[in-house]
Structure 1
Amino acid sequence: MGISPTSRLRRNRNRVLTGLSALALAATGFAAAPAAQADQPVRETAGNSHPYRHGVHPTKEAANSAAAQRTSNLRYGGGVDGIGVTTGAPKVYLVFWGTQWGSQGTDSSGYTTLSGDPKGEAVRTQQLFKGLGTNGETWSGVMTQYCEGVAKGATSCPSTAAHVGYPTGGALAGVWVDESAAAPGQATGNQLAAEAVKAAGHFGNTTAASNRNVQYVVLSPTGTHPDGFNTAGGNFCAWHDWNGDTTLTGGAAPSPYGDVAFTNDPYVPDMGTSCGQNYVNSGGAGTLDGVTIVYGHEYSETITDQNPAGGWTDSTGYENADKCAWKGTGGAGGAQNVAMATGSFAMQGTWSNAVSGCQISHAIVP
């Protein structure tokens, strides 16, 4: 006798519930995480169906649970490989991965342009990271209240601790268009990490010390789906991690250059309003709002949790920008334009333990 549609739905639902129960019983941390991360909480958050999607920026439609996480302060995770936060001036290397980006050019301001970039994301991204730490911007100041060298579980930092650095004069340290091959249509976590390690070698950062305060932003071209971005199972806009995370799809990526922090930054405009288009600004002025909101989100989380999850997260595993994603616009902590020397950029607020809430601006510490 066949199974009725109702019975089939009930059976599938029970299988899902049983699976979730098994996850809850498996550990208080990521079930497949290495020992250093074993006490980190499981995050059944929108877009975060994989444990390596640290600081995952969910799509607007998948972010309904974020508001419930705006109640508890961040806690220090104790570091991974001795690294908790970015303590020097943050350096950002942009890696435009794949031949699909097309031919290169240079505009009148010296920014790299790419013929396979229909929305002009490349220039906007360069402007953003070059502008951080200029024009007296204090969006970056929110992150400088966090530190390392304090007890695991601490929620505040003494002035003597090593705080997150401020990107004085700009965070952009280099741009590379890797034309050695086409970027994968759907890159795995391991492939993304390996590309970041490759970039470290390209830029001459061949020691652990040279990568200590560095992050590699791996930008995939339009039409690709890194880690399932812009697919039915990928309700996210970006995420970050480090090469040694053994939970990456395909496993950890070896590095002869020490630990390498990286971000999976897909071609955000492909997701339109789901990843922030026109979230702050209307019309053409807001076409790339999502690019700066999402990429700023991941940057802020990398410098406060460089080797996840050894930096700052809350009791549920949310990082500083997760707690303020798609909070709305304006006010003390909503998304709004931030003026820098290179332009005005739509940015989201990030979590501040100092006020137990989201802030778009905070005095630079110390």
Structure 2
Amino acid sequence: MVLRGFSFAAACAVALIGLSVPAQAMPSADQTVDLAGATYQVQPHVRAGLKPIHPAPHAAASKVARNVLTVRSNASQGVVSPNPKVYVVFWGSQWSADPAGAAPALQNFFTGLHGSADNWGTVMTQYCEGVARGTANCGTAGIHINHPTSSILAGVWFDNTAPAPATSTQAQIAAEAARAATHFGNTTQTPNLDAQYVIASATGTHPDGFPNSGFCAWHDFTASTSGNLAYTNLPYLPDLGAGGCTTIANPTLLDGYFSTETHEYAEVITDFWPSIGWNGSGGEIGDECQQLDARLNLGTGTFDMQGIWSNTANKCVTNS
């Protein structure tokens, strides 16, 4: 769900993508960012899938939406992430403090999110790219999202040579994603058709105005010298206290962190370059289902998984 405006150049970029124009035909980067002693050209687009901050658990798990998702482009790239790979960036020397233990927990989460234990992720295999715009049921057509059989955690970077900005802008977050792509060697478009970069900010920082901006997290894509990059702005949500960003009963400090990251992860792989992927009138796959949370044991730990929309089940679900 897109809640904020964007520039004319970004609007042109989204329109071009919707017409299946190759990535290299998109407008050139429209912002120059100086970060960590280097200059980056980026073009952030929209803050998609903003999950609002919940002050406390308040919703019944039985609540469902009634809103079928359809694909918004016939493109065969950038609609979904067929073989998801996650690169986590712990941004800034501020990560020397991690009072909630978020960094190891986030790595454990992505390490375990695969195979038979992950019956949440299997919900998304029904979605695809390379089909006609407006499609609601891929069937056997198109290029489907594959359920991972091994860890999706492709890389971890503690970028701690300098502090991250105390209040980073959207463009600075996009530039950090571009730095990460270079760091991990993903310097062409091909590997970045499946890679997503989770920019995890440290305790006490305020990425894009968090928490006063009212969101738990959001995702976006940006043009860069490495191609279009999908990335997530993930603040240090334990700073909100237990109950922020989750509806689960008896929440821990990290429940909202994982409810939010599952929301964003699902939206990235089903709406890779927003918003040409799978959307409904209520937003993306996670926006539909913010009132539903359940815990799932992945073998590497037990995590709060936000519900996601299933066209097959015609409701919000936490497993297939």
Task: Work out the CA distance in 1 between the residues paired with 2:124 and 2:14.
Answer: 22
CA-CA distance at 1:274 after TM superposition: 5.2
Contact 1:94 1:218 in 2 (8 A): yes
Rate the CA distance shift 1:310–1:62 in 2: closer, same or farther, 3 A.
farther
Structure 2 CA distance, aligned partners of 1:62 and 1:242? 30
Q: Please, which runs of 5 or more residues in structure 2 have no aligned partner?
A: 17-43
Q: Is structure 2 residue 173 aligned with structure 1 residue 205? A: no
Q: Does 1:94 align with 2:88?
A: yes
> Take 2:63 and 2:294, find their aligned partners in 1: how far apart are those partners?
22
Aligned-partner Cα distance in 1 for 2:117–2:63: 33
Please say if 1:82 is aligned against 2:77: yes
Instruction: After TM superposition, list the pairs within 5 Å mapping 1:1-366 onto structure 2.
Output: 32=8, 33-37=10-14, 52-61=46-55, 70-78=65-73, 82-88=77-83, 90-102=84-96, 116-231=97-212, 234-244=213-223, 255-273=224-242, 275-276=244-245, 279-280=247-248, 282=250, 286-316=252-282, 318-325=283-290, 327=291, 334-362=292-320
Between 153-162 and 209-218, report the one with greater CA deviation: 153-162
Following the alignment from structure 1 to structure 2, what is the Cα–Cα distance between the partners of residues 63 and 270? 16
1:126 deviates by 0.6
Write the deviation string for residues 133-169 of structure 1: whole angstroms up to 9, x where unpaired. Answer: 1343210011111000111111110213111121221
With over 3 angstroms needed to count, the CA separation of the structure-2 counterparts of 1:259 and 1:131, relative to structure 1, is: same
Q: Deviations over 1:274-329 (max 9, x none)?
A: 5246x43537xx2211111111111110000110001101135x10011101x1xx
Residue 105 of structure 2 aligns to a residue whose secondary structure is: helix
C-alpha displacement of 1:35: 2.9
Give the conservation status (yes or no) of the 8 Å contact 2:216–2:245.
no
Contact 1:79/1:309 (8 A) holds in 2:
no
TM-score (norm 1): 0.72
Name the counterpart of 1:107: none
Query: Is the 1:54–1:240 contact (alpha carbons within 8 Å) kept by the matching residues of 2?
Result: yes
Residue deviations 1:191-217, cap 9 Å, x none? 111101100111111111111111000
Structure 1 portions without partners, runs of 5+: 1-28, 40-49, 103-115, 245-254, 328-333
Q: Aligned letter for 2:220?
A: D
Q: Give the CA deviation at 1:37.
A: 3.5
**Deviation, structure 1 residue 55:** 0.8
The answer to whether the 8 A contact 2:125-2:146 is kept is yes
Kept in 1, the 8 Å contact 2:289–2:306? The answer is yes
Question: Residues 158 and 310 of structure 1: is their aligned pair in 2 closer, same or farther, counting only changes over 3 Å?
Answer: same
- 1:30–1:37 contact (8 Å) kept in structure 2: no
SS at match of 1:181: coil
SS where residue 87 of structure 2 aligns?
A: strand
Higher strand share: 2
Identity of aligned residues (%): 44
How far apart in 1 are the matches of 2:154 and 2:244? Answer: 26
**Could you tell me how far apart the structure 2 residues matched to 1:183 and 1:84 are?**
31
Q: Whose radius of gyration is greater, 1 or 2? A: 1
- In structure 2, do the counterparts of structure 1 residues 68 and 361 end up closer, same or farther at CA, with 3 Å as the change threshold? closer
Amino acid at match of 2:12: A
With over 3 angstroms needed to count, the CA separation of the structure-2 counterparts of 1:292 and 1:319, relative to structure 1, is same
